[in-house]
Amino acid sequence: MHGALADPASPAIEVRGLRKLYGEKAAVDGLDLTVPRGCFYGFLGPNGAGKTTTIRMLIGLARPTAGEIRLLGLPMPERALDIKRRIGLVPEESLLFERLTGAEFLQFAGRMYGLDRATAASRAAELLEFFRLNDSPRKLIAEYSKGMRKRLMMAAALIHRPELFLLDEPFEGVDAVGARIMKDLLLDQVRRGATVFLTSHVLEVVERLCDRVAILNQGRIVLEAAVSDLHSAAETLEDAFVRLVGAGQGLEKPDWL
Ligand code: ATP
């Protein structure tokens, strides 16, 4: 039924048998994943594990070789437009418009997400202030630093109060104050029932924020667990991570090092 509302009890993210081949190599190799609504979910793995490729498939930027994706109960890519209005994104490389100011970009994002002009403008102004990006309001995005870009992407992800956040390294390059603002905001979003799915290499941060984690290695999930279960097994997330993907640990160091 076209335009049917998704079942609100369906998981925020459901992935079955997801695969992505680049040439002969599987970047993502048969991924099954269920992220319940209202969950703060950490998607971890070493460099090259397939995290960004997975997120790119979730948001329709890369086409899966095989598998099924449902976001908020809706199939992707068939219902991509409906889905995109209900998710907030911080992609790995920023999809920003260099010749706009921060305020213009946020207003544009708000309008794209279906807000009326007045609401988009007022929320854009409030978000700029909240993320401390309003010191030089005429500055173009081309002149933004890396951390400022991440702050702006996070602001754009929030402007339409989405139900699901897909965030690729959202704190990378953001200073301690900015990162604290983002973390507190994301925890607030989860408290109001939204779902957060993020990648990060900073395991202490993940451990503090996330309810559940998956660890990906060579395109496959090697651990899926509640953070509290790891703790009751007397393991830190870092211990589990190194145990599961730490191949190469204990390699001989060259003499000169
Ligand atoms: P990182 O933590 O370093 O960001 P990641 O887990 O996000 O890593 P991906 O960027 O998803 O890893 O890459 C997974 C694998 O797919 C890597 O081997 C990478 O070289 C390969 N890959 C990614 N994008 C492409 C592409 N466009 N063409 C060919 N290979 C690719």
pLDDT tens track for 186-220: 999 999 999 999 999 999 999 999 999 999 999 99
Dist. CA 197 → ligand 1 center (Å): 18
Residue nearest to atom 18 of ligand 1 (CA): 48
Q: Which residues line ligand 1 (CB under 6 A)?
A: 22, 27, 45, 47-53
Q: Which of 22, 61, 90 to mutate to test the pocket of ligand 1 (most atoms within 8 A of CB)?
A: 22
Report the nearest atom of ligand 1 relative to the CA of 53. Answer: 11
Residue 2 has pLDDT above 50, yes or no: no
Under a CB-based contact definition with an 8 Å cutoff, are residues 36 and 11 in contact? Answer: yes
List strand residue ranges (DSSP E) for the chain, in order: 13-22, 25-35, 40-44, 66-71, 74-76, 87-90, 164-168, 195-199, 212-217, 220-226
User: What is the bridge-based pairing of β-strands 212-217 and 220-226?
Assistant: antiparallel
Ligand 1 centroid to Cα of residue 27, in Å, is: 6
Ligand 1 center from residue 121 Cα (angstroms): 37
CA distance 39 to 43: 12
> CA angle at residue 57 from 167 to 241, to 5 degrees?
55
Amino acid 136: pLDDT: 81
User: What are the pLDDT digits (tens) for 12-45?
Assistant: 999 999 999 999 999 999 999 999 999 999 999 9
**Taking the model in full, what pTM does it have?**
0.92
